Amino acid sequence: MKKVVVGLGRRERRDDGVGVVAVEEIKRTCPGVEAYSVGDDLTKLIELVQEAEHVIIIDASRRGVEPGAIHRYSIKDLGSHPSLSSHGLSLREVLEMAEALGMLKASVVIYAVEGRDFGYGEGLSGEVREALDTLLEEIRRELGC
């Protein structure tokens, strides 16, 4: 079973980099799992998910809830939360495109961590840094590593 983890966001925009930081840790601790960072070019997802059987996507969110809160979504949930991503195309649009092209056959789970600081600079806010361990534990359990 091919498992793929994809981190979205940009490290130089503080909490927006949580997906990148999480992917680096997954690469280090989960052998056999393919893990990638795609920045804010969500169209790269289409290529990465083609032969996967299970995909986990990690991103920061700005839903107006407490910073550090972890949300878990399925593709179906994206219909009710179309603005999960601040990137050019929405995550929902990209995944729908991949499905329409017959390139997405995997089960997909999206983890979003509520950010506090999206300004320029590196380093996660305290709330997001604290949530990272819980996020990684949940993802490792789901991946079986």
- For residue 95, what pLDDT is reported? 83
Q: Which amino acid is at 51?
A: E
Give the three-class secondary structure for 82: coil
Angle between helices 126-143 and 18-29 (to 10 degrees): 40
φ/ψ (deg, to 5) at 81: -135, 65
Other CB atoms closer than 10 Å to residue 4's CB: what's the count?
21
In the chain, the number of structural domains is: 1
- For residue 88, what pLDDT is reported? 59
CATH number of the domain that residue 138 is part of: 3.40.50.1450
Q: What does DSSP say about strands 54-61 and 107-114: parallel, antiparallel, or unpaired?
A: parallel
Nearest to 19 by CA among 52, 50, 1, 44: 44
> Which residues in the chain land under pLDDT 70?
79-89
Other CB atoms closer than 10 Å to residue 25's CB: what's the count?
18
For residues 106 and 49, is the Cβ–Cβ distance under 8 A?
A: yes
The tokens describing 26, both together, are 């997954």
Give the three-class secondary structure for 62: coil
Which residue range(s) make up the domain with 7? 3-143
| R_g (Cα) of the chain, nearest Å | 14
User: Per the confidence metrics, is the pTM higher than 0.85?
Assistant: yes
